[in-house]
Amino acid sequence: MTPPTATLALADDALILSHRLAEWAGHAPVLEEEVALANLALDLLGQARTLLSLLGDEDELAYRREERAFTNTQLVEQPNGDFAHTIARQLYYATFQQLLFGRLAVLDSELTPLAVKAGPETAYHRDHAVTWTLRLGDGTAESHARMQRAVDALWRYTGELFHPLPGLPELDHRALEADWLARVSEVLTTATLAVPGTPRGGTGRRGLHSESFGRLLAEMQHLHRSHPGATW
């Protein structure tokens, strides 16, 4: 399979991460996080819709593609797990997104307008993730252990964030990765957590997903697919 275009890859990331975050609705540990997690989900869904619309009909693309045609990273499709897993996933992805959008905002690409508009959102997302990483990492013994477990468990999906994507030729992916690692390491260290190493792993960009992803799509797509041709 040829690598996906950057537009589709980033659209799928935003769509699937938004879906995972929205699963928290009604289950968050504190009411303020009900608001915050829904807010993050909504921002990402907005980004996904903008990107998908550049490629075609947003609903056709979201609801009618099979699992193997999705090009999101495996990181964003990982189940929410406990709150620490959700936060580790957010820290990794929001840091990547903020660095990427910062670069795209000053390039001349079809993604530039989105990067400019979404820049403040990604800064807020990262801020949220950093704040919670610090609280959990440097909170109680239990929260520290849970946060370290989450940081370690999700690390194996971070590598593919830095795979070059067609459509982003001017990007220095190695520099992006180095920046990401420096920033994430700084947060983890401040949070008294161990840094797992250099980013590694992940096959989602090639359409190879985790087992849980099929169920996510089954749930997301079933109603739309049950009523072909209907409008909502």
Partner 1 sequence: MEQSTTPTRELADRFARTVAADERIEPRDWMPDGYRATLLRQIAQHAHSEIIGMQPEANWITRAPSLRRKAILIAKVQDEAGHGLYLYSAAETLGASRDELLDGLHSGRHKYSSIFNYPTLTWADVSAIGWLVDGAAITNQVPLCRCSYGPYARAMTRICKEESFHQRQGYESLHVLAHGTPAQREMAQDAVDRWWWPSLMMFGPPDDESPRTAQSMAWRIKRHTNDELRQRFVDICVPQAEALGLTLPDPELRWNDERGHYDFGPIDWAEFRAVLRGDGPCNEQRIGQRRAAHAEGAWVREAAAAYAGKHGLAA
Q: Could you list the residues that contact partner 1 (CB under 8 A)? A: 15, 19, 22-23, 25-35, 38-39, 41-42, 45-46, 48-49, 52, 58-59, 62-63, 82-83, 134-136, 138-140, 142-143, 146, 219-220, 222-224, 227, 229-232
Residue with smaller CB distance to partner 1, 91 or 99: 91
- Min dist CB 172 to partner 1, Å, is 33
What are the percentages of helix, strand and coil residues in the chain, rounded to 5?
Answer: 70, 0, 30
- Min dist CB 204 to partner 1, Å, is 19
C-alpha–C-alpha distance, residues 179 and 162, integer Å: 11
Cβ–Cβ < 8 Å for 39, 21: no
- Min dist CB 43 to partner 1, Å, is 10
Nearest C-alpha neighbor of 62 from the set 121, 125, 15, 123: 15
Residue with smaller CB distance to partner 1, 34 or 67: 34
Residue with smaller CB distance to partner 1, 52 or 100: 52
- Min dist CB 8 to partner 1, Å, is 15
C-alpha–C-alpha distance, residues 79 and 202, integer Å: 15
Using alpha carbons only, how large is the chain's radius of gyration in Å? 17
- Min dist CB 218 to partner 1, Å, is 10
C-alpha–C-alpha distance, residues 40 and 87, integer Å: 12
C-alpha–C-alpha distance, residues 96 and 7, integer Å: 15
Residue with smaller CB distance to partner 1, 83 or 155: 83
Residue with smaller CB distance to partner 1, 99 or 216: 216
